[in-house]
Amino acid sequence: MSNIRDLYALEILDSRGRPTIKTTCTLASGISASASVPSGRSTGAAEALELRDGNPLRYQGKGCLKAVGHVNTEILNCLKNRDFSSQQELDGALIALDGTDNKRNLGANAILSVSISFARAVAKEQGQPLYRAFSQLINRKVERFPRLTINLFSGGRHAGKQIPIQDVLIVPSSPESIDHSLVMMNNIYQAAAEIGLKTYGMRLLTADEGGLAPPFPNAEAMLEAAVTAISNAGYRPGEDAHLALDVAASHFYRDGSYYLDETPISSSRMIERLQRWCADYPIVSIEDGLYEDDWDNWPLLQEALGSRILILGDDLLCTNPSRIDKAIAAGACNALLLKVNQIGTLTEAARACRMARDAGWLVTISVRSGETEDDWAADLAVGWSGDQFKNGSVTQSERLAKYNRLLEIENQKPMPIVSWPN
Ligand code: PGA
Ligand code: ZN
């Protein structure tokens, strides 16, 4: 049983220099803990509402002072001096207080900052690491690390749209530890930077998640360069390291067509293109290969490739139990990309995670493109036995905070990495 004595929220800045929210939860025992909330740019239409002030004089309307105010007044007044015997009870009180279907009243950012700071304070009170507390929410033992999927190249909304697809990620597959995965990735990243320098003659700019963003002429050039970077770094593509893609197809879809190149293509041509990429490159996972509401065609994509690779739903599912239900019934994909702030509380995200697992899907735990130095996502990826963890590149402190937390967990509790995708 934990009793909330105080909640204190503050507007802070994320990795893009945009406002977000950090809340400190103090329990009656005097123990307190804070949590900061990330923010997406390539967002799904069905995501819970991230409340922004809309005041053009502050941060182009993106201020979070209203969300901060909601924590410091309504939410505090509702929760103060109340006993909560579980995370579910606390989250239930937040959902009831908000009273809307997408958290537009209090803001999913305000609600999530309370949900996670409470979880962290309770874990601290109980003297257990955060990943263990998280694991109890889904009733699973902590016995392995997720396979890392690490951003190498970016396009789309994360990199000024120089090419339409959003991310090519490296999956270090032969390493048996987080430490070795990061060593491999560092070598591949350096090799990729050199390829970019040679081919495009400039020091490469980095995208939102720290990926390199050379002016590739098309998606195939991006995939080709990723494979070359793996071999130039001394590894075997398709054995030591594989590729994962976040196509983020919703962002180049209009009126029934996909604008991948100059000539728009239909859904079935888009699926053929993805099949061709899988035949030509060592791809083990494709996220949002189709538009988020292309429900008729997702099952065809799953049928075409789902027996060999992960067909991951991000914008398609938005970590939302009712969309996951629909996707399971339709046979639309075989894996969930889980972002807690898409739904707004730990309890609802845990339900999404359980539903995916019950359907036999795999689960990728993911951060957002706008992140903070908070590292709770690493504990979540371990605690919820993520099959993959998607945390951006191996540069930039907001990304490294999570990788460093994984290194710390590995140091304290060595465990195998999940064997996928070998
Ligand atoms: P985000 O999306 O920019 O909304 O965080 C990243 C992704 O599409 O996975
Ligand atoms: Zn995505």
What's the rounded mean pLDDT across residues 413-422?
83
CB 279 within 8 A of CB 304: no
Give distance in angstroms: CA of 207 to centre of ligand 1. Answer: 12
CA 9 centroid distance within chain: 23
User: Of all atoms in ligand 1, which is nearest to the CA of residue 158?
Assistant: 3
Give the three-class secondary structure for 345.
coil
Rounded to 10°, the helix 130-137/376-383 angle is 50
* Ligand with minimal distance to 154 CA: 1
Give 328 or 202, the one with higher predicted confidence: 328
Q: Of 422, 421, 409, whose CA–CA distance to 144 is shortest?
A: 409
| Residue 122, Ramachandran bin (φ over 0: left; ψ between -120 and 50: alpha; else beta) | alpha
203, pLDDT greater than 70: no
User: Of all atoms in ligand 1, which is nearest to the CA of residue 248?
Assistant: 8
pLDDT score for 162: 81
CA within 13 Å, CB half, 223: 23
User: Of all atoms in ligand 1, which is nearest to the CA of residue 337?
Assistant: 9
- Return d(Cα 346, Cα 325) in angstroms, integer: 18
Pocket test of ligand 1: the residue of 39, 318, 368, 398 to mutate, having most ligand atoms within 8 Å of its CB, is 368
Which amino acid residue places its CA nearest to atom 7 of ligand 1? Answer: 42
- Return d(Cα 319, Cα 383) in angstroms, integer: 17
CA-to-CA separations, 345 to 133, 137, 192, 253, in angstroms, rounded: 15, 12, 38, 30
CA-to-CA separations, 369 to 1, 41, 292, 339, 405, in angstroms, rounded: 35, 7, 18, 11, 18
* Ligand with minimal distance to 208 CA: 1
Give distance in angstroms: CA of 153 to centre of ligand 2. Answer: 14
421, pLDDT greater than 70: no
What's the rounded mean pLDDT across residues 358-366?
98
Annotated active-site positions, please? 209, 339
Q: Of 93, 217, 180, 210, whose CA–CA distance to 410 is shortest?
A: 180
What's the rounded mean pLDDT across residues 393-420?
96
Give distance in angstroms: CA of 48 to centre of ligand 1. Answer: 14
User: Of all atoms in ligand 1, which is nearest to the CA of residue 368?
Assistant: 5
- Return d(Cα 390, Cα 288) in angstroms, integer: 14
Give distance in angstroms: CA of 315 to centre of ligand 2. Answer: 6
Give distance in angstroms: CA of 1 to centre of ligand 2. Answer: 37
pLDDT score for 72: 98
pLDDT score for 160: 78
Residue 34: CB partners within 8 Å, gap ≥ 6?
Answer: 22, 23, 24, 25, 117, 120, 374
pLDDT score for 205: 77
45, pLDDT greater than 50: yes
What's the rounded mean pLDDT across residues 305-316?
98
CB 123 within 8 A of CB 130: yes
Pocket of ligand 1, beta carbon within 6 A: 40-43, 166, 246, 248, 314, 366, 368-369
CA-to-CA separations, 358 to 57, 147, 354, 362, 385, in angstroms, rounded: 48, 20, 6, 10, 14
pLDDT score for 159: 85
Confidence of residue 413 (pLDDT cuts 50, 70, 90): very high
pLDDT score for 422: 47
pLDDT tens track for 127-162: 999 999 999 999 999 999 999 999 999 999 888 778
Pocket test of ligand 1: the residue of 342, 366, 396 to mutate, having most ligand atoms within 8 Å of its CB, is 366
Give distance in angstroms: CA of 245 to centre of ligand 2. Answer: 9
* Ligand with minimal distance to 342 CA: 1
pLDDT score for 157: 86
pLDDT score for 1: 84
User: Of all atoms in ligand 1, which is nearest to the CA of residue 43?
Assistant: 4
pLDDT score for 419: 84
Give the three-class secondary structure for 68.
helix
pTM over 0.95? The answer is: yes
pLDDT score for 420: 63
Q: Is the dihedral of CA 96, 99, 102, 106 positive or negative?
A: negative
234, pLDDT greater than 70: yes
Query: What torsion, rounded to 10 degrees, do the Cα atoms 259, 265, 268, 269 define?
Result: -100
pLDDT tens track for 89-135: 999 999 999 999 999 999 999 999 999 999 999 999 999 999 999 99
**Phi, psi torsion values for 157, nearest 5 degrees:** -65, -20
Pocket test of ligand 1: the residue of 42, 342, 396 to mutate, having most ligand atoms within 8 Å of its CB, is 42
**Phi, psi torsion values for 263, nearest 5 degrees:** -90, 125
34, pLDDT greater than 90: yes
Which amino acid residue places its CA nearest to atom 1 of ligand 1? Answer: 40
How many C-beta neighbours within 10 Å does residue 298 have? Answer: 25
Q: What is the mean pLDDT of the chain?
A: 96
Q: Of 351, 317, 349, whose CA–CA distance to 335 is shortest?
A: 317
